[in-house]
Chains A and B, each alone.
Chain A
Amino acid sequence: NAGVTQTPKFQVLKTGQSMTLQCAQDMNHEYMSWYRQDPGMGLRLIHYSVGAGITDQGEVPNGYNVSRSTTEDFPLRLLSAAPSQTSVYFCASSQNGQVGNYGYTFGSGTRLTVV
């Protein structure tokens, strides 16, 4: 049981480049989300999805796109990377959308540096 798998673990981008951070879960969780973690700011929600075909914005969505074509995958796209997007990105999932009952399962993170 792999849980939540994020790839890549590390990435360096040049300003203006695009890339996709991958997130996959094998627990049949309906709810998936992306957070960014910055020093002194904790975790901030970027986008989330309550099921295949359904996505919504979180607290800091600007500069990021998501889609949810399958239950298992929830990729995060940076269309034109900026230094302000240098951060550690975490994908998290929850069973049945009931975060209060189950909490989140987190991936191990992607450390992104934009130069």
Chain B
Amino acid sequence: AQSVTQLDSQVPVFEEAPVELRCNYSSSVSVYLFWYVQYPNQGLQLLLKYLSGSTLVKGINGFEAEFNKSQTSFHLRKPSVHISDTAEYFCAVSYGGATNKLIFGTGTLLAVQP
């Protein structure tokens, strides 16, 4: 079955430290990959996406993610986090390219501490 796994439900980190949020998906020939961010009491905003080409994707707010086909992963990274990065982060996958549906992971709460 098609699925997305975010193993870490919560990641605490100190301000200015690096962070990695993990995402794995079930194997498929063709996938489009997304990271969304949800700030408290708001909807989801697109952070970055991978469609094809370079496996390193840069997004907004200094975040980047790397597509690793052999490990079926799409981990999100930031070299130095800020208090304002505290939010919930969702990985999402579209299988089959042109399909209309996104399958979301269960989310990871990034809690940045001073």
* New A-B contacts (4) at CB < 8 Å, excluding given A90-B43, A108-B42: A42-B90, A42-B107, A101-B51, A109-B43
Residues of B within 8 A of A (CB): 6, 9, 32, 34, 36, 41-46, 49, 51, 90, 94, 97-102, 104-107
Contacts of A90 in B (CB 8 A): 43-44
Interface size of A by CB at 8 A reads 27
Is residue A106 contacting chain B, with contact meaning CB distance below 8 A?
yes
**Residue contact B106 to A40, C-beta cutoff 8 Å:** yes
A105, chain B: closest CB distance, angstroms: 8
Residues of A within 8 A of B (CB): 4, 31, 33, 35, 40-45, 48, 50, 58, 90, 92, 94, 97-101, 103-104, 106-109
Residue of chain B at shortest CB distance from A103: B46
A-B contact pairs, 8 of them (CB 8 A): A33-B101, A40-B9, A42-B6, A43-B90, A90-B44, A100-B98, A103-B46, A103-B49
CA distance A77 to B45 in the complex (A): 25
A108-B43 contact given A99-B102, A101-B51, CB 8 Å threshold: yes
**Residue contact B94 to A107, C-beta cutoff 8 Å:** no
**Residue contact A106 to B106, C-beta cutoff 8 Å:** no
Contacts of A45 in B (CB 8 A): 101-102
**Residue contact A48 to B9, C-beta cutoff 8 Å:** no
Contacts of A41 in B (CB 8 A): 106
CA distance A109 to B40 in the complex (A): 11
